[in-house]
Structure formats: C-alpha cells, structure tokens
Amino acid sequence: MKRLLFLTLIVSLSALPALASNNNADQPEPTFYEDVLPVIQENCQVCHREGGTNLGGMVAPMAFTDYKSTRPWARSIARQVEAGLMPPWHASHELDGVFVNERLLTDAERKTLVSWAKAGAPAGDVADAPEAIEWPETHGWSIGEPDLVLDMGEDFFVEDHVEDEYVYFQTEITEEQLPTKRWIKAVEFRPGSKVVHHIITRPLGGIAPGNTPTVHHDGFATLLEPGTKLTWQMHYHKEPGEGTGVWDRSSVALKFYPEGYEPQHVVLNEPLTRFDFEIPAGDPNYTKTVTTKFDRDSILIGYTPHMHLRGKSARYVAKYPDGSEELLLDVPRYDFNWQTDYQYPAPGKQIPAGTEIELTMSWDNSADNPFNPDPTKTVTYGEPTTAEMMFGFVTYADAEAGYVPENAGGLFSSGGNRRQADPERMKKMLKERFDIDWDTLSPEERQEIIQRFRGGRRDGGDAVSGR
C-alpha cells in the first residue's frame, strides 16, 4: 500500500500541469499488473479467489487472481467500488481504523481501479506484477483443517412450495467425536445448500449471509464438552415453485486449542434485543432503543447487528460510569444481505464495571425501501424475513483472567450441557429491558413471556416449523 501511495503521489505531481488544462493525456494509465493487481491482492482476493472466504455460505462467485479472470469484470469492479459496495463494509467512516476486519479502499486505491477500467482495462507488462499471494491451504474451510466437523444429523428436503421454513434438529456430541472437553479456537459453519438463510446452533453460535467464520483471539475461547446437545435452528428461504426443492445437510467445523489448554477468557455473547416493537405501515424511520449494563470489568470483542429486510440503521453507544459517552459502532445504511461482524483487534476493548451499552436501531417500512416486501403492513417481531428482528449482538469476555462466568454462552444456553434458560440472567434482562419483575408474575403471565421469547412467532404468517 505504501508503494501505491508513493506511486500515486508521483503520478499526481507529474500530472499537475495537465490537470490545470483539464487534460489527463500525459498521466500514465494504470495497468493491471503494475497498479491494479496489488490493490486487488490486498483488498479483494481474501474473498475473490478459489477457496475464498466463506461468508456464512456466501462465497464470492468470481476469482480476481489473474488478468484473464479479472478483465471481464473491469466495468463492474469500477461500478462497485465507486458506489462503495465493494469491498463490503458498512460501518460509518467515523470508525475507520477501529475494527480489525475493516475492509476499506483508500481514495488512491479506488481511483486506480476506476481509472484502469475507464482506460479499457489494459494488462501492462507481466514483469511488473507483484508476487502471487500464497494463501494458506484451507482444506475447503476458511479456518484451515478442522479438528472436528459436525452436521445436523440427517438430510432434509426443503420442498418446492417453501418460501420460509424453520426446522429444528437435535444432535449430541458423542465421546467418540469428542473424548474430552476442549476449548474452541475457531468455528466455521457451512450451509449444505443455497437455500440456507441462517443457522443457529446452540451453544456453538450461528451464521447468516455475510458473517465471517469466528476465530477467537489467542487466550479467548468457548468450551465444548462431550455429551453436549446441539440444537440446530435452520432457516431456509427461497422462491417457491416447481423444481425449486433441494436437499440440505449443513455442518459446522471446529478448531480446538491443544488438549489441556486453559484459556484466560471465556467468550460470551450478549444479545441486546427487544420484542415489543410495532413498526407502522409506511413508516420510513421507526426507531427503538435498548440498553444493557455490564456489572463487571469487561473486554468487548465485537458486534453483529441483526435486523431483517426493513432494517435501516444500527448504532451502539457506550455510557461510562463517569458520565462520558463513546460511539462504538454506527451502521448508517444497514444491508440485510451483509450480516457483518465488527471485530476489535486483540486483545479487545476494555470497559469498566457499570458501563452501559445503548443500542438504537431503525427500520424503513416505506415504499422507498427497495427491499420492503410489503409497505402496507404493520410489522412486529417474528422469524420470517418478512417480519422483523432487533438484535445487537455484543461479543465480550470478563476482564479478569481465569474467571469462569456462571453462564458461559448466551441467554438460553451455557457452554456445557445445560439447555435451559439461565433464570437469573433472564430475570435481570426482563427487569432491565422491560421493567418486568419476574417474581411477581402469575404462572400465566410467565408462560406468556416464555412463549414470546421462545417462539417469537407472533407474525407466524409464512413460517412453518418442524420437529
């Protein structure tokens, strides 16, 4: 990149007189080998190559590894980078430089790609090409050769008539698969077919299109024990119609730390969420806020905002005990097709006990939202993509090295065998989010709440669920 900046500097200096006369004729045109390939290597090939990153089942459909395969895409590349659509990254520019997995082009890099396309995509001299990047052998997985691959246990046929379908599978990790407890270093889900919209496998995690595989920073881990029961929630989504049915058997690959390894920090996930919203028909900017408090010193690892087709923006703000505030993440134009994770570089971001994180999300239920399936409908919480969700996932860990929290894996499960909701955590959340006192509720009221959390199928419409 340095070399490029330098090059652009020379180019722009030598072009000064030409610019004055508004004539770029003596500015050398960028060529593929000398100028474009270095930019593409650094910013695009992580996805655009054979065996490129698996983003929750989405794999870049073309490789930009040589001239022949890149040349036909020149104009499309120019369009995509000019519009800011590629490389995919949705955080606001205020946060440039904050996240480790940031994907951004410098102005110079963008200009190089665009002027190259405009100049007719010249190849240049192959002798000027940078050395090809040696991508690590992936064995078909972005995280490298896995230690254990698990799948949902059976083949499942998504029928022709299906548009949205939720199906649940239960599997158990046998002692043969996992003789002793192990600490997880990396997790990569692989959808078994094109119609998988998302997978949530408790307690391992989940994916939706645009997610990158999870690789924990060294010293950070989640626990897996033999006998752990896995619940696979599969969301299939496709155009219904004759001949559209497909078989699926999705899987997940795990990489472990060495046996006997003890991590310093257990990775936890806090879903900032509300279920009590009602987005009026046609409303172009419906907003909801939710706050959660961290009772102990913590390390923030990353964020994944999740809404559906009407999702418009997401904003996370830290409110520190001393009264100051800090913008943690701002996604001004949320794109449902890119469920991006925003990750801090190791070792994460420290926050003091008592810090609150406030999540604000907004939705566009107007006809101006091109993704809106029906602007005449009032929209509430629900599983189908045509209903809405409000989740601001926060991945974090306790700041105290060696501290093993009581609940090691989210709201409804722990890192181990427990599959029940953690009652204390649940009560705390109800109090914080909804000002509901669990202990004072009648059994019917409790049932009602559990129903809403578990199923969340108030907008059941086109959702079907199996087993």
Of 4, 27, 29, 73, which lies in the binding site for ligand HEC, with binding defined by CB under 6 A?
73
Quote the tokens at residue 401.
Answer: 């090295």
190 binding ligand HEC? (CB under 6 A):
no
Give the residue with the Cβ less far from ligand HEC, 58 or 121: 58
Give the residue with the Cβ less far from ligand HEC, 53 or 115: 53
Q: Residue with structure tokens 């599997």?
A: 171
For residue 283, list its beta bridge partners.
none
- Give the nearest distance from C-beta 267 to ligand HEC in angstroms: 22
Query: Can you tell me the distance from the alpha carbon of 388 to that of 277, in angstroms, rounded to the nearest whole number?
Result: 9
Q: Are 362 and 312 in contact (CB under 8 A)?
A: yes
Q: Residue with structure tokens 């599969």?
A: 234
Q: Are 245 and 159 in contact (CB under 8 A)?
A: yes
Of 53, 69, 231, 360, which lies in the binding site for ligand HEC, with binding defined by CB under 6 A?
53
Of 46, 167, 207, 379, which lies in the binding site for ligand HEC, with binding defined by CB under 6 A?
46
Single-letter residue type at 463: A
Give the residue with the Cβ less far from ligand HEC, 55 or 254: 55
Length of the chain in residues, anyone?
467
- Give the nearest distance from C-beta 290 to ligand HEC in angstroms: 29
Q: Residue with structure tokens 């520190």?
A: 320
What is the x/- site pattern for ligand HEC, positions 74-93, by CB under 6 A? --xx--xx----xxx-----
Cβ-in-10-Å burial (0-12, 13-18, 19+) of 212 comes to buried
Evaluate the CA torsion angle 88, 90, 91, 93 in order and state its sign. Answer: positive
Q: How many CB atoms lie within 10 A of CB 428?
A: 15
- Give the nearest distance from C-beta 348 to ligand HEC in angstroms: 22
Give the residue with the Cβ less far from ligand HEC, 61 or 443: 61
Nearest in space to 379 (alpha carbons), one of 388, 371, 370: 388
Residues 6+ apart with CB under 8 A from 414: 203, 407, 408, 422
Give the residue with the Cβ less far from ligand HEC, 93 or 161: 93
What is the x/- site pattern for ligand HEC, positions 91-110, by CB under 6 A? ------------x-x-----
Of 21, 26, 61, 370, which lies in the binding site for ligand HEC, with binding defined by CB under 6 A?
61
Of 8, 43, 65, 222, which lies in the binding site for ligand HEC, with binding defined by CB under 6 A?
43
- Give the nearest distance from C-beta 55 to ligand HEC in angstroms: 6
- Give the nearest distance from C-beta 308 to ligand HEC in angstroms: 17
- Give the nearest distance from C-beta 83 to ligand HEC in angstroms: 10
Count residues contacting ligand HEC (CB under 6 A)? 20
Which range in 42-50, 262-270, 292-300, 346-354 contacts ligand HEC by CB under 6 A?
A: 42-50
Query: Can you tell me the distance from the alpha carbon of 347 to that of 329, in angstroms, rounded to the nearest whole number?
Result: 18
Single-letter residue type at 6: F
Of 48, 111, 197, 312, which lies in the binding site for ligand HEC, with binding defined by CB under 6 A?
48
- Give the nearest distance from C-beta 204 to ligand HEC in angstroms: 22
Which range in 17-25, 73-81, 350-358, 420-428 contacts ligand HEC by CB under 6 A?
A: 73-81
Output the CA–CA distances (angstroms, integers) from residue 102 to 38, 44, 68, 97, 391, in the order listed: 18, 12, 28, 7, 21
Q: Are 39 and 4 in contact (CB under 8 A)?
A: yes
Q: Are 463 and 383 in contact (CB under 8 A)?
A: yes
Of 30, 33, 41, 44, which lies in the binding site for ligand HEC, with binding defined by CB under 6 A?
44
* Number of alpha carbons in the 13 Å side-chain half-sphere of residue 382: 22
DSSP conformational letter for 232: E
SS3 content of the chain, % helix, strand, coil (to 5): 20, 30, 50
- Give the nearest distance from C-beta 14 to ligand HEC in angstroms: 25
Query: Can you tell me the distance from the alpha carbon of 253 to that of 404, in angstroms, rounded to the nearest whole number?
Result: 25
Give the residue with the Cβ less far from ligand HEC, 60 or 361: 60
- Give the nearest distance from C-beta 18 to ligand HEC in angstroms: 27
- Give the nearest distance from C-beta 53 to ligand HEC in angstroms: 5
- Give the nearest distance from C-beta 88 to ligand HEC in angstroms: 5
Binding region for ligand HEC (CB under 6 A): 43-44, 46-48, 53, 55, 58, 60-61, 73, 76-77, 80-81, 86-88, 103, 105
